[in-house]
A and B are shown apart, each in its own frame.
Chain A
Amino acid sequence: MDDGLEHNPLVSRRALAQQHEAAFGWALSLTGYNAATAADVMQQSYLAIVEGSARFDARSSLKTWLFGVVRNCARRGQRRDRTELKWVSRFAAEPRDDSTSNGGASDTQLANVLTTLPRRQRDVLELVVYSEFTLEETAAVLGISLGSVRTHYHRAKQALRARLES
């Protein structure tokens, strides 16, 4: 039997484990694909969940809520260490040579275009396209209005199309 956590009775260990990989992917995106920082963000997120400072009340799906917690922890960490934030931002802005990391093929052109987009637009694209959130869920994760999400999404798509075709 998989009971809820002591300070978060509606959250079970198994349910968290099911979202772990997707949440880590989101943490990676928020930290400029820095694995160590992303792991730290995940650790802080789980700590907030276990101690109950982040409480799930089932108003949204567990995945939406978890992604919101991860985002808050990433932001808190970035505020705490501005030096690291600068480093991460610089790291995120540089196109990486992914061809040597796992032998796969990277879309360098797309990666370069993505780095020119505002942070919020990239977040919306990742949540909608990769994490398969609806626009409403994306708004909940980012803590912004649905109208803002729609605007960011369409502007991001337009910018991508224009720059990839040019």
Chain B
Amino acid sequence: MDDQEIDDRLRAHFTFAAQAQPVPDFDTLLDVAQPQAHAPQSRRWATLAAGALAASLVVAIILERRATSTGAADALLLAQLTQSTRWTAPSDHWLAATPTNDYLGLPRFDDMIFQMEEVKPWF
């Protein structure tokens, strides 16, 4: 069997196989494709919006991780302590406003002098 004979049989076979099926209408296929082709514009915007959302999520996750890392947590705690100290530490204004500083647990200045005076004779 020579090459030409094989080619002829192949050609006949492929032709037969292709012709056994009806060819879909070209105009219908292309016309259906036309309106769908306008979709990419809106699809592009949708993709862009989804991309922006995904990027912002990634940034948020990174920032969150940084905030909860050891160094950042320490800094946050220090800031909170400083702020709370600012509220609880006695200030001149507070001391002046209150009649006594007993509430702070501090000894009276006069009592301290008295004790010193009491001790002095022992030396």
- CB nearest neighbor in B for A114: B13
For window 38-76 of B, CB contacts with A under 8 Å fall at 39-40
Q: How large is the interface on A (under 10, 10 to 19, 20 to 34, 35 or more residues)?
A: 35 or more
Contacts across chains A and B counted by CB atoms under 8 Å: 97
Given A39-B29, A157-B6, also A107-B18 (CB < 8 A): no
Given A16-B26, A130-B14, also A51-B37 (CB < 8 A): yes
State how many angstroms separate the Cβ of B42 from the closest Cβ of chain A.
12
Given A106-B16, A107-B9, A160-B6, also A43-B21 (CB < 8 A): no
- CB nearest neighbor in A for B39: A51
- Chain A contacts of B13 at CB under 8 A? 106-107, 110-111, 114
Q: Let me know if A29 is at the binding interface, CB within 8 A.
A: yes
A residues near B (Cβ < 8 Å) are 7, 13, 16-17, 20-21, 24-25, 28-29, 33, 35, 38-39, 42-43, 46-47, 49-53, 98, 101-102, 104-107, 110-111, 114, 125-126, 129-130, 157, 160-161, 164-165
B residues near A (Cβ < 8 Å) are 1, 3, 6-7, 9-24, 26-27, 29-30, 32-34, 36-37, 39-40
